[in-house]
Each structure stands twice: as C-alpha cells, then as structure tokens.
Amino acid sequence: MNRALIFDIEGTTTSLAFVKETLFPYAEAHLDAFLDTHGERPDVAAVLREVRRFGAAQQRVETPPAAEAPTPGGATPSTQPLDTAPSPDPAEPPSDSAASAAEAPRGAPSDAAAPRDAGAADEGEGEAASLDPRALLKAWMAADVKVTPLKTLQGLIWEAGYASGELRGHLYDEVAPVVRSLCERGYRLAIFSSGSVAAQRLLFGHSVAGDLTPYIEAYFDTRTGAKGEAVSYKAIARALGLPPASCAFFSDIASELRGADAAGMRSAQLVRPGTTPAPGQTHLSDFQALNAWVSAHFA
C-alpha cells in the first residue's frame, strides 16, 4: 500500500494542555539555567545569533521610515511595506521565511523579518549585537510567537528535560495502539506540526506509550510551509513521493484541513472535548474513529 496519513500534534495526538501547561512553562522556567550552562555551545550560540538578527530586523520593520521627498509633479514614489512580500508562486514550496511569517501573529517577529542574504546580515550586525537575546526570547515565549530560533531553542531545552526523565510526551490513550496498527497494515505515517521537527521527534520518542519513532516515517514543521496553505501540503506530498490524493491529513484546526483539501488531500477533523466541529468537515472523536474511517474510506 502506498498511502500516507499525516497527523497534527496539538489537539490531535496530544493534549493542548500538555503543550501549554507543561512544555512551554518548562522551557520558560529553564531558559536562564540552560543558557548559563550551554550558551557557549556552538549550536546554542548559533541560535542566539539568529535571535539577535530576528530582533534587529523586527526593529527595522517597526520603525517608521522617514518621509520621502515628493517627485516632480507632486507624486510620492510608491514603496512596498517592509512587512509584506510578493505572493509565492503556488507551484513552488514556500521558503522558511514565508512559512514562519504566516504562523506568527501580526506585529510579532517572524522568519520573514530575518535578513537572509549576506549583505542584509552585515548591515544589521552591529544593531543585532546590542540586543539581549534572553529578553527577546522571553518576550516571544510570553506572546507564543512561532519563529524558528525560538522553536529551536525550546526543542533544545526540552531535549534536556526528556533525557533527564523530567518530561514524557503526552499522547491520548488510544493513539499509540492505532499508530502501531496503521503502520503494520502498510500505511506510511507522518507528522506536520508548528513545533520543530526536533521537538516532534522528542515527544514521540519519549512518549508515555514508549518510543513511537520507528512507526513514523517523516516529520514536517513550518519550514515546509504555513499550516493553512495548500502549497505546504503539496510540498509534503512531493517529499513523500506521492500524489496529494494518496495522502490524508488529520487535525483539530479547520483552516489546516482546508489547506490540505485545497491541495487535493483527504482530511478529517479530530473533535476532542473542547474542539468546535467545523462545518463541512468529517468529524472523528478519537483515533479509534480515525482507524475506522481509514479502513472504510482510505484503504
């Protein structure tokens, strides 16, 4: 069988409360101690440099430009706002910047704000060096901003917590047996979440049900694309070497399901307690219902 089942995490395989009430507070509480101990480590130092670049770029976006002199005839030259960019070619997978920018709240720093070419990076180097990365990280954590350097650092902190046994990845009780069954029946399983790929692997590798990573073929995060955009799901299908029609996506978020639908995938909404059923979507109460739906409609 060459069919892929792609799962969201929060509200789908894992309680949103675990992410909001355990993982995020853990990273926030251990940030200073982690940086005190590991701040000079090459991978951590690289993340901190990226945090500074993001912060400097965001300051430039938020600083109003000086008024331009009128051109002859009284017209003012047109300029493109710094926080906008041309729409990506729908045939191409979105870049890292487009992916995280679409996930970040308006007014918050995003991947799109980070300088990408060497010239832009050099221009902001002095400005970036003056910023306090810890203050930026704490502000982003408080605002739940989904930008790559923050997600990367959170993943590194969680890695230490999982390794020490302080953290164990939450899964709803019925998830692990169904995941094993689907894999054994020949389905290819993948994850698409706004959390970093590293954080996804940690959660499933240190879950309350044991190590599930042998059952999961691929992991995708917002570097692939924004979760509400069809191009992201097309990119995932290409990465799996399948047409979108051979893939099904499962999430609790209606906008994500619409993105998968627009890409040509099948989809269904996990409606766990607290989730509002979305009109026009197939509703599944848990992974046992998901298993039955797959058997009936996606065999």
Range(s) of the domain holding residue 113: 21-67+94-164
Q: What is the pLDDT of residue 220?
A: 97
What pLDDT sits at residue 6? 98
Read off the pLDDT band of 196 (50, 70, 90): confident
**73 falls within a domain:** no
Question: Are 150 and 254 in a shared domain?
Answer: no
| CB burial of residue 232 (10 Å; 0-12, 13-18, 19+) | buried
Residues 31 and 119 grouped into a single domain: yes
Same domain as 8, residue 26: no
Share of the chain above pLDDT 70, in %: 78
Q: Residue 77 CB: number of other CB atoms within 10 A?
A: 8
Q: Does 32 reside within a domain? A: yes
pLDDT score of 21 more than 90: yes
Residue 150, domain member (yes or no): yes
- Do residues 176 and 270 share a domain? yes
Domain shared by 27 and 155, yes or no:
yes
Residue-averaged pLDDT of the chain: 83
Question: Beta strands of the chain (E only): which ranges?
Answer: 4-7, 188-192, 218-220, 247-251, 266-270, 283-284
More confidently predicted of 261 and 62: 261
* 159 and 173 share one domain: no
The pLDDT of residue 57 is 87
Same domain, 258 and 181: yes
Of the pLDDT bands very low, low, confident and very high (cuts 50, 70, 90), residue 59 is: confident
Of the residues 124, 149, 164, the one at which a domain ends: 164
Residue 277 lies in a domain: yes
Quick one: residue 176, left, alpha or beta (phi over 0 = left, psi -120 to 50 = alpha)? alpha
Q: Give tens-digit pLDDT for 208-236.
A: 999 999 999 999 998 899 999 999 999 99
The 10s digit of each residue's pLDDT in 139-180 is: 999 998 888 899 899 999 999 999 999 999 999 999 999 999
Cβ proximity of 291 and 177 under 8 Å: no
174 is a domain residue: yes
> Quick check: is 175 in a domain?
yes
Give domain status of residue 243, yes or no. yes
Residue 132 confidence class, pLDDT cut points 50, 70, 90: very high
Q: Which of 125-134, 172-181, 198-207 has the lowest mean pLDDT?
A: 125-134
CATH number at residue 287: 3.40.50.1000
Are residue 194 and residue 242 in the same domain, yes or no? yes
231 and 284 within one domain: yes
Query: Is 238 within 8 Å of 93 (Cβ atoms)?
Result: yes
Q: Which of 31-35, 69-73, 155-159, 242-246 has the lowest mean pLDDT?
A: 69-73
Residue 221 in any domain: the answer is yes
| Per-residue confidence (pLDDT) for residue 123, from 0 to 100 | 53
On whether both 111 and 149 belong to a single domain, the answer is: yes
Of 106, 136, 164, the residue that ends a domain is: 164
Q: Which amino acid is at 191?
A: I
E-strand stretches of 74-195: 188-192
- Using pLDDT thresholds of 50, 70 and 90, give the confidence band for residue 64: low
Report pLDDT digits (tens) over 82-122.
Answer: 222 333 333 333 333 333 333 333 334 444 444 444 444 45
Q: What is the mean pLDDT of residues 52-78?
A: 60
- Cβ(30)–Cβ(161) under 8 Å? yes
* DSSP code for 148: H
pLDDT value of position 102: 36
Number of domains in the chain: 2
- Phi and psi at 263, nearest 5°, equal -80, -10
Q: How confident is the model at residue 73 (pLDDT cuts 50, 70, 90)?
A: very low
Give percent above pLDDT 90 in the chain.
69
- Whether 224 and 259 map to the same domain: the answer is yes
User: Of the ranges 44-48, 61-65, 217-221, 273-277, which one carries the lowest mean pLDDT score?
Assistant: 61-65
Tell which of 147, 164, 181 closes a domain.
Answer: 164
